[in-house]
Amino acid sequence: MSQSMTTGPVAERFLTFVLGSEEYGVSIRCVQEIIGILPTTPVPGTPSYVTGVVNLRGAIVPVIDLRRRFGMREAELTREACIIVTRSTGATVGLLADRVCDVVSVSPDAIQHPQTFGSSAHAQFVTGIAAHQKGARILLDASAITSDAAANGGPAHVAA
């Protein structure tokens, strides 16, 4: 005898982090690890939001300053600042964040999609917005943030 089970939409898990006073999330599926700040080596010809590359156990990983990428004002790095190492579309890229918060589960029903919020120069990075106790959490598409084609509306070159 088999039993029929009805389940709702499966919640997706996001690593949440802070930039300034805003909370963001990126799918945990693309997060490889979280590391402390490492010295970066600048690479000539890369976009201004690429701080350089780091040597992560022998792998050269480009690091994107999310504040610069989103056109936010720069801030001094604190002890809580970190690099979220992501892997999407075959590339490993570090995302510089002010601090990491938590891993949260978000039901698909709780996510409002960006087209409901009008257009923005950086809308291609946002997959949705989810409410939480303290306000809203902006959910990001890591592959759009790190892709060459999304950079400033045209091609960019990130050395890997």
In the chain, what are the domain boundaries? Answer: 12-151
Is 66 buried (19+), middle (13-18) or exposed (0-12) by CB count in 10 A? buried
Q: What is the pTM of this model?
A: 0.82
Kindly report the CA angle at 77 between 65 and 48, in degrees rounded to 5? 25
Q: Is 29 helix (H, G, I), strand (E, B) or coil?
A: helix
**What mean pLDDT comes out for the span 16-39?**
95
- Tell me the per-residue pLDDT of 131-155, one tens digit each, with 9 for 90 and over: 877 788 999 999 888 875 333 333 3
* 65-123 per-position pLDDT tens digit: 999 998 899 888 899 999 999 998 778 999 999 999 999 999 888 888 876 555 554 57
Q: Could you tell me whether strands 126-132 and 111-112 are parallel, antiparallel, or unpaired per DSSP bridges?
A: antiparallel
Pairwise pLDDT comparison (158 vs 29), residue with the higher score = 29
Q: Looking up tokens 């890229």, which residue turns up? A: 93
CB 137 within 8 A of CB 122: no
CATH of 12-151, one of 3.40.50.720, 2.40.10.10, 2.60.40.10, 2.40.50.180: 2.40.50.180
